Amino acid sequence: MIVNAGKYQVNITEKIFVPLEREIKKAKCSSIHIICDENTLQHCVPFLVSNCPSLKLAEIIEIESGESSKCIEVATGIWDTLLANGAARDALIINAGGGVVTDLGGFCASVYKRGISFINVPTSLLAMADAAVGSKTAIDHQSVKNVIGTFAEPRAVFANPDFLPTLPERHIKNGFAEILKMALIADKHLWEEVKNGKLKNGHIQKAVSLKVAIVSQDKYDKGKRKALNYGHTAGHALEALGGGQLLHGEAVVAGMIIENYIASDLKILKPETASLINNVLRNLYPDELPQFNATDAVKFLQNDKKIHSGKYNFSLLNGIGKCRTDVRVTEKQFMKACEKYHSLL
Ligand SMILES: NC(=O)c1ccc[n+]([C@@H]2O[C@H](COP(=O)([O-])OP(=O)(O)OC[C@H]3O[C@@H](n4cnc5c(N)ncnc54)[C@H](O)[C@@H]3O)[C@@H](O)[C@H]2O)c1
């Protein structure tokens, strides 16, 4: 299945190799560089290279897996390698990995020699359903998530669900969190389908189509796109607070629960709807949701880019499948919601 994302296409199919090969040929690049981590190097890159003749001579740039690689030091290492290998303006980067590789690799490509082409080949569920699409690239800095980044479109995205069987179960659940989020902000029918926690054929496509539909109305995050931040304002604070222990999707689930309590407190979301959603999320993630100190979490909230004049800018549900953006929330309201979150655990 192909989702048109403006200038580029997202191909979601087990048969990515023929169109991927075609796209690489079309790029007419002078060199190809595959960015991956040790896990995708082991489980995904050989499959890719053996099925795409154009990749046989590609240079492999391996980074260490995990969020800690989304930093300026690792980015510098990638630029050093590109330079050392003579990567020119018409070089092509293939990001073969999860959201860390697509965010970092996309960022490196988007500023190297003022921007070279890249193709995303997401290999984790989270990257297939979310991170590889939508043109946001980023690295973290001083424990602040995604604080340095660019908007840069890939040449194309090729998501092959055949990569998923080697993905650890924890990371499947992690990626599923973003599908739950998409359903909650944009599609109540999808929510009915996914609230049992079972990933089915078609869920990745649905999540990608919903994201593309939102991004196409607001590429630069000035309006409608902010709905995608639901669960992420609180979630990013917890992810940073967790110092790498908590995965992105797990932090987002906790963030969604907290933010539903805020929405209910502000009378944006009916309390019974908030509690219905929160019970579903708590039951789907019984062992993943963290306990934390709310005062510490506020410190990381203060670092979040969505802050405005002393209040925090949240995107909150105003029903299942609906989201209101730019809701100003006080520290006190956030702390109160954290308390309710802890009583739910
Ligand atoms: N740009 C965006 O719009 C956007 C949206 C959502 C999330 N993100 C970012 O995505 C990142 C999280 O992505 P993630 O969860 O994919 O993390 P990740 O890239 O760390 O991948 C998760 C783990 O799975 C391994 N892995 C990936 N594919 C595999 C496979 N097929 N088989 C075996 N192991 C495999 C990786 O090596 C890693 O250990 C975060 O940094 C988050 O901020 C970005």
244 CA distance to ligand 1 centroid (A)?
A: 13
Å from CA of 44 to ligand 1 middle: 13
Ligand 1 and 65: CB distance under 6 A: yes
From 65, 143, 215, the mutation candidate for ligand 1 (largest count of ligand atoms within 8 A of CB) is: 65
Split at pLDDT 50, 70, 90, the class of 244 is confident
Q: What is the pLDDT of residue 305?
A: 53
How far apart are the CA of 269 and the centre of ligand 1, in A? 31
For 112-149, the pLDDT digits (tens) are 999 999 999 999 999 999 999 999 999 999 988 899 99
Query: What pLDDT digit, counting tens, does each position of 28-71 carry?
Result: 999 999 999 999 999 999 999 999 999 999 999 999 999 999 99
| Residues 6+ positions from 277 with CB-CB distance below 8 Å | 184, 256, 260, 317, 320
Q: Which atom of ligand 1 is nearest to the CA of 66?
A: 20
Give yes or no for residue 308 having a pLDDT over 70: no
Residue 128 is given by DSSP the state I
For a mutational test of ligand 1's pocket, the pick from 38, 70, 100, 182, i.e. the residue with the most ligand atoms closer than 8 A to its C-beta, is 100
In DSSP terms, 33 is beta-bridged to: 59, 93
Residue with CA nearest ligand 1 atom 41: 100
Ligand 1 site-directed mutation target among 68, 69, 126, 219, most atoms within 8 Å of CB: 126
**25 vs 32, 68, 196, 238, CA distance in Å?**
11, 34, 42, 43
**Which pLDDT score, from 0 to 100, does residue 243 have?**
81
Rounded-to-5 percentages of helix, strand, coil across the chain: 55, 20, 25
